[in-house]
Chains A and B, each alone.
Chain A
Amino acid sequence: MTGSAWEVVIGLEIHAQLATRSKIFSGASTAYGAEPNTQACLVDLGYPGVLPVLNEEVVRMAAMFGLAVNAAVAPRSVFARKNYFYPDLPKGYQISQYELPIVEHGELYIEDADGNEKRIGITRAHLEEDAGKSIHEGLDKSSGIDLNRTGTPLLEIVSEPDMRSAKEAIAYMRKIHTIVRYLGISDGNMQEGSFRCDANVSVRPRGQEEFGTRAELKNLNSFRFIEKAINFEVERQIELIEEGREVVQETRLYDSDRDETRPMRSKEEANDYRYFPDPDLLPVEISAEYIESVRQQLPELPDAKKQRFVAEYGLRDEDAGILTASRAVADYFEDAAAATEAPAQLVANWIMGELSGALNREGLEIGDSKVSAAELAGMLSRIHDSTISGKIAKQVFEAIWGGEGTADAVIEAKGLKQITDSSAIEAVVDKVIAANPSQAADYRAGKDKLIGYFVGQVMKETRGQANPAQVNQILKDKLGN
């Protein structure tokens, strides 16, 4: 960002698609990727005479989110019609919530640039239905409309304008992403559009109380694009103001190919939605008992889990953060740590190192790992009791990954057991020293670094199976004479 004369102000509106089987107001399926319009029923199509009936699961999910971000879950919330014309909106209105949303006044904490905890307010979260999809490619003078997505339940999560950089915006968004997946209320799949974001961005001279004029950046569907789009927009606004021109309040689209934002050509004046309570839906009433029952279902949340990992397992703060970013990874870690005497930090290192490397290489999620938590634990136990060295363990890991059996079976079959018999190691050390007289002389003359060369030779002789600590000690003893 250019200097410190300008302060950036960002607020985010995140749309999280709720992971229900059926739609928010109809019994049509929400499965992704079906043939066009094969999941759009009469309610979704807006046929005359149909009535929306609210899905109980979306209420539970919204309440769960509210509790997870320390918000108030409204005892009474109301659905409203947001009126506008667009071909992918057959009814001519979107059912949303306006004055009385289901969730209000939440918060979460992110880490700012200085590593300090920073509170980000969540103004509200409301339930609404998604619209359909317009397809422009391959159709000459027409656009094609697929209404499968119509009526898919969304939770729109609106933040306070509390973020001061693109980095903070990303940190906030990641946090929300983690929370909804922990709660199991959204799959958070950004490619499929299950998790998307609009950003309100403005700048103001540092120290000024009043907000600058904001632009709304639409439909940002990857963490990387959000950061780039915000940074581009900030530069654009600062440039405008420094040239003595003005920022116009407008909606802009980010073009990832050109790495720029540009105004949407469509009708700005149409932002007159004439919201009113939907007469087809009654107010949603939620009892205190119901909220309590949802509270009972809340899983341990990322922040709490991270703190527990540090306290209970003695992990480094950063590592605990990585392991708890996804509930599946955290569960894998705990399963593995419980099944071995090896230190938890070793378990963590292997999950973040070899295991995540292997998963990335094959494009797998941890749930599909070819080395189970129990198998990893079995192998780490063999490192811990010195049966194998950390280096040999990598070979063992690859073999388990390749389906060659448990660590014990692999070690046995390949004869990888570490040599810890001192006399056996001494014999090899003697042999190596005898074969390298000049290096031995140089070492004795003070070239300490040559110890690495000798260790390497011994390991080579023993195919990596000698206990490295013992090799080091014996070499020093023998060369030291």
Chain B
Amino acid sequence: MSLSKEQVQHIAMLARLELTDDEYAESVAKLSRIVDFVDQLSQADTDGVIPMAHPLDAAQRLRPDVVTERIERDRYQENAAAVAGGLYLVPKVIE
């Protein structure tokens, strides 16, 4: 078991997931297996290997600095739970 329950609780909190005790037990077991699997990689000799940033062996294409987007605010806001005066409304965020 490579992960503790506390670690999984921390990960769940960061991902905003609420889990029951049963779900925790299951998650700890499953996630541990994944981590154990990935841990095998540390046995490989990676000296001198440049970490891969992307599976495609290509470089980023760039776009010219031009305004191309037409904004349809009303349409985009149809999906929002609440809007007012063009703003998206969310439960009060305390600074």
Chain A residues proximal to chain B, CB less than 8 Å:
20-22, 26-29, 35-43, 45, 47, 53-57, 59, 78, 83, 85-87, 99-100, 134-136, 139, 141-147, 253, 264-266, 270, 272, 274, 277, 279, 281-285
Asked whether A56 lies within 8 Å of B90 as measured between CB atoms, the reply is no
Which one of B20-28, B36-44, B51-59 contacts A?
B51-59
Residues of B within 8 A of A85 (CB): 16
B57 → A minimal CB distance (Å): 9
B69 touches A87 (CB 8 A): no
B1 contacts the other chain (CB 8 A): no
Contact status of A279 and B54, CB under 8 A, knowing A143-B90, A145-B90: yes
With A and B bound together, what is the CA distance between A43 and B68 in angstroms? 12
B71 an interface residue at 8 Å Cβ cutoff?
A: yes
Given contacts A40-B71, A87-B90, A136-B92, contact A54 B65 (CB under 8 A): no
Q: Are A36 and B54 in contact (CB under 8 A)?
A: no
Asked if B48 CB lies within 8 Å of chain A CBs, one says no
Give bound CA distance, A21 to B65, whole Å: 6
A314–B34 Cα distance when bound, in Å, is 71
Compute how far the CA of A38 lies from the CA of B92 in the bound complex, rounded to whole angstroms.
Answer: 22
Contact among B60, B64, B66, B76 for A285, CB-based, below 8 A:
B60
| B residues apposed to A, CB below 8 Å | 10, 14, 16, 51, 53-54, 56, 58-69, 71, 73, 76-77, 82, 84-95
Closest to A277 in B: B53
Given A22-B68, A142-B91, A45:B60 Cβ within 8 A: no
* A267 (CB) vs chain B CBs: closest residue: B13
Q: Which residues of A contact B95 (CB under 8 A)?
A: 136, 253, 264-266
Q: Contacts A135-B87, A272-B14, A285-B59 given; 18 further ones with Cβ under 8 A?
A: A20-B65, A22-B65, A22-B67, A26-B69, A27-B66, A36-B87, A41-B69, A54-B61, A55-B62, A57-B64, A87-B93, A99-B51, A139-B87, A146-B86, A146-B87, A282-B54, A282-B56, A283-B54
Please state if B63 and A284 are interface contacts (CB–CB under 8 Å). Answer: no
Most buried by B among A28, A86, A136, A144: A144
Cβ B53 vs Cβ A21 within 8 A: no
Hey, which chain B residues are within 8 Å of A57, CB to CB?
Answer: 64-65
What B residues does A40 contact at CB under 8 A?
71, 73, 76
- Sample 6 A-B pairs with CB under 8 A, ordered by A number: A27-B67, A28-B67, A28-B71, A36-B87, A41-B69, A283-B53
Q: Is A147 in contact with B88, judged by CB distance below 8 angstroms?
A: yes
CA distance A59 to B62 in the complex (A): 9
Task: Report the Cα distance A230→B91, complex, angstroms.
Answer: 33
Report yes or no: B87 in contact with A141, Cβ–Cβ below 8 A: no
Residue of A nearest to B16 (CB): A85
B contact face: mostly helix, strand, loop, or mixed: loop
**Contact pick for B14, options A36, A99, A134, A274, CB 8 Å:** A274
Whether the pair A144, B89 counts as a contact (CB closer than 8 A) is yes
Kindly state the separation between the CA atoms of A139 and B82 in the bound complex, as whole angstroms.
12
Which B residues are CB-close (under 8 A) to A42? Answer: 69, 76
B86 touches A35 (CB 8 A): yes
Smallest beta-carbon distance A90→chain B, Å: 9
Q: Which residues of A contact B64 (CB under 8 A)?
A: 55-57
Cβ–Cβ contact B92 & A142, under 8 A: yes
Q: CA A36 – CA B87 in complex, angstroms? A: 6
Pick from B51, B73, B91: contact of A141, CB under 8 Å: B91
Roughly how many angstroms separate A59 CA and B64 CA in the complex, as a whole number?
11
Q: Which of B53, B73, B77, B92 has the most CB of A within 10 A?
A: B53
> Are B90 and A22 interface neighbours, CB within 8 A?
no
Are B63 and A144 within 8 A (Cβ)? no
Quick check: B93 and A134 within 8 Å, CB to CB? yes
Q: Are A143 and B91 in contact, with the CB atoms below 8 A?
A: yes
* Cα distance, A227 to B56, chains bound together (Å): 47
A136 to B90, CA, bound (A): 10
With a cutoff of 8 Å between Cβ atoms, the chain B residues found around residue A265 in the complex are 94-95
Q: Given the interface contacts A22-B65, A28-B71, A279-B54, does A142 sit within 8 Å of B90 by beta carbon?
A: yes
Check A53 against B90 for contact (C-beta < 8 Å): no
For the complex, give the distance between the alpha carbons of A87 and B90 in Å: 7
Smallest CB–CB gap between A61 and chain B, Å? 10
Q: Are A27 and B69 in contact (CB under 8 A)?
A: yes
Q: Indicate if the CB atoms of B65 and A41 lie closer than 8 Å.
A: no
Q: How far is the CA of A282 from the CA of B58 in the complex (A)?
A: 7
Residues of A within 8 A of B63 (CB): 27, 53-56
Q: Which residues of A contact B88 (CB under 8 A)?
A: 37, 87, 144-145, 147
